[in-house]
Structure 1
Amino acid sequence: MPAADAVRGDSRLGAWQERVRTVLGAVRVTTADGASPGGTVVTARLGHLDVSRVASDTQRVTRAAAAPHVDGGPGVLLVLLTRGTAALVQGGRHLVAGGGDLMVWDEAGPYSLHCEGPFTALVLRVPRSRLAPYDRATRGAALPAFASSAGTAGLLGTVVSTLATSPASYAPAVAGRLADTVVELLSVLLLERSRPGDAEAGARAALVRRVREHIDRHLEDPALSPRTVARDHHISVRYLHRVFQSEDTTVGRLIQQRRIEQSARELARPELRTLSVAAIALRWGFADPGHFSRAFRRYHGCTPVEWRRRGGRV
């Protein structure tokens, strides 16, 4: 890629917004303190596609319903998040992505994208006119928005990541064929996601997976709760509970279950015999030993002391 066109952290927010607009069109960038997040935008051409690498810090990107489009009319945005997290809100739907996830959405409608930094992302914009096979198959149906790293999305993400390393290094004829391959894979992915319910189910499954991973990373934090989980994923507590309705547990019960499982594992370890039950409970987020003992008994059918004495056997 060519040398980065950088915007320093002390530059005006408006200057950074103009750089972002070269990638996403007529969007508005805001930050919590009103200062520029700084960062770099590097764009190179791959056949008929622009491939941009964006590196920056926390910010929100919003697009109004009446905002004009860049050349080529309304497009489909492919964003491969390689670092950080991002939350997209469009049409009342919430998408949450982390490193390695591919986000796809239609820029024709208004949306809000919250990027939690530091983050890096590869951005491709495909004009809707390039998706003729998809449009014929779906009769121009609304494009599904989703975030995923599984199946065809994972394959497309790998291709995008590989091609974005040095898109300008390919001969023109080869670059054109590679760009066609990206568009073909995107068409296949959109056809898969256009089946009724698939897009919503895929988005919910990805969010459930991400929430479970988040809980495991923060089990030792006594403040961990459905409220903090929802906050960290930029969604409401109500929406979080709705997403988990199809699971066999609630977010609150999942947090407690994982804490008890980790506590039970440590209580059964002979080398940790010198640690008190209360100390192990506190380590895994249980500030009240009595509450821990009652919750442990409900889960394992015995007290933590009995569990330790039996070496982790019921």
Structure 2
Amino acid sequence: MDVLVANGPDEWAQVITDSFVPLSLGSMAASFHGSVRSSSLGSAVTLTDVRTHGASVVLRTGRLVRREPSDDCLFSLHVDGEGVVLQGDSGTEWSRGGGALYDASRPYELRFRTDARQLVLQVPREQLRDRGSRVEEAYGRGLPAGHPTVRVLAAYMRELADTCDVLAGDQRVELGLTAVDLLATAVRAVVGEGSGVPTGRAALLASMQTHIREHMFDPRLTPESLAHRYRVSVRYVGDLFAGAGTSPAAFIRAERLHAAYRILTDPRRAGSTVSAVAARCGFADRTTFTRAFVRAYGRTPAEVRGALGRET
């Protein structure tokens, strides 16, 4: 991949704006210089190796957010140096091997006190949401280096950054999907641990949602079967999900559609027919699946699969 080099703050502002989202600079060391090497991983996912020399402050201001909005999330893996990410009321000191997730649709600030190296995975927010990650709860929070899921993610990102140059385009796309999966897993794990153990109705709802995600491909999964499993009435199940702003049937359907979308946009599964995807994801027939899919995504499954073919 091409390497962009900046020999001063003015050049750096342009380099990072071109590589990520529109950004501005705060205080900078007079001798500052840096480089960026970005690799496209398909499906609007990029992995960028950022190396800086000298203290620096990078800003995503409210004005830039309003003028040039973005729905991307950025995960910065801290490889070396000292720094902090600030977003909203949260601030996280980076530690080697750890990282932080931040939201390009809101202002943020990155402060580096020393020379530093970051690996930045930039992902459309919906790709993390589709994998069940509560991304909004993770913004500005640290993903600690010692957490097992973060260790796996960090090792994978480092290897991917080192080998991207020699990978074919379809290989980068496949490995990019895995990177997003690993990030989603780490976010789910860290946010889940930080939010405490739910109790009462919240615990029962969380258990039901987990059961749905684990059994969504079973066509026999219904609100009635859920009520039977948990020995409660169908009405009570409905009340639990209503408190979360949905219904059990809608939640089941949404999880199945998310799974179907992931399959249809995964080049590793390009050989699966739309009918096979519908059946795999628990839908009774292709027509029912297509109608639900269009309502959710505004395109037919065939159109989504066709768009993947044009990208690859």
TM-score band (shorter)?
0.5 to 0.7
- CA distance in 2: counterparts of 1:146 and 1:38, whole angstroms: 27
The one-letter code sitting in structure 1 at the alignment partner of 2:151 is: G
Amino acid at match of 2:160: L
Conservation of the 8 A alpha-carbon contact between 1:106 and 1:143: no
Q: Which has the larger radius of gyration?
A: 1
Q: Check if 1:40 corresponds to 2:43.
A: no
Q: CA deviation at 1:198?
A: 4.4
Q: Corresponding residue for 1:14?
A: 10
CA distance in 1, matches of 2:25, 2:73: 20
Instruction: Report the equivalent of 2:100.
Output: 103
Is 1:131 equivalent to 2:97 in the alignment?
Answer: no
Alpha-carbon deviation of 1:165? 0.5
The residue identity in structure 1 corresponding to 2:36 is V
Question: 1:30 pairs with 19, 26, 29, which one?
Answer: 26
How far 1:176 moved relative to its partner?
1.4
Asked whether the equivalents of residues 40 and 55 of structure 1 are also in contact (C-alpha less than 8 Å), the reply is: yes
Q: Which moved more, 1:20-29 or 1:156-165?
A: 20-29
Contact 1:23 1:123 in 2 (8 A): no
Letter in 1 for 2:40: R
Percent identity for Structure 1 against Structure 2: 20
Measure, in 2, the Cα distance between the counterparts of 1:45 and 1:186: 17
Aligned to 1:178: 175
CA distance in 1, matches of 2:32, 2:102: 24
Tell me if the contact between 1:50 and 1:125 (Cα under 8 Å) persists in the aligned partners.
Answer: yes
| Contact kept? 2:5, 2:15, Cα under 8 Å | no
Deviations 1:234-267 (A, max 9, x none): xxxxxxxxxxxxxxxxxxxxxxxxxxxxxxxxxx
Show CA shifts across 1:106-159 (max 9, x none).
222211110122111111211112224245x65x75444324112111111111
Structure 1 residue 62: Cα displacement: 1.5
3-state SS of 1:114 partner: strand
Q: Distance in 1 between matches of 2:171 and 2:36?
A: 25
Secondary structure at the counterpart of residue 99 of structure 1:
coil
The residue type equivalent to 1:46 in the other structure is: L
d(CA) in 2 for partners of 1:194, 1:100: 18
Moved over 6 A (4+): 69-72
- The 3 A distance-change label for structure 1 pair 69 and 171 is farther
Distance in 2, Cα, partners of 1:176 & 1:29: 32
Native 8 Å contact 1:105 1:146 kept in 2: no
**1:252 matched residue in structure 2:** none
Cα distance in structure 2, aligned partners of 1:196 and 1:155: 17
- In the TM superposition, 1:1-314 aligns within 5 A as 1-2=1-2, 4-8=3-7, 11=8, 13-32=9-28, 35=30, 37-48=32-43, 49-56=45-52, 57-68=54-65, 73-134=70-131, 138=134, 141-144=136-139, 145-149=141-145, 150-195=147-192, 197-198=194-195
The structure-2 alpha-carbon separation of the partners of 1:80 and 1:170, relative to structure 1 and needing over 3 Å to count, comes to same
Could you give the per-residue CA deviations for residues 153-194 of structure 1, whole angstroms, max 9, x where no partner exists?
Answer: 111111100000121322222221111111111111222233
C-alpha distance in structure 2 between counterparts of 1:109 and 1:71, whole Å: 11
Give the Å deviation of 1:23.
2.9
Amino acid at match of 1:54: V
Letter in 2 for 1:112: E
Letter matched to residue 33 of structure 2 = G
Q: 1:19 touches 1:41 (CA, 8 Å); kept in 2?
A: yes
SS of the residue 1:152 aligns to: helix
Q: Sort the Cα spacing of 1:124 and 1:96 in 2 relative to 1 into closer, same or farther, 3 A.
A: same
Deviation of the 1:66 alpha carbon: 4.2
1:203: which partner in 2?
A: none
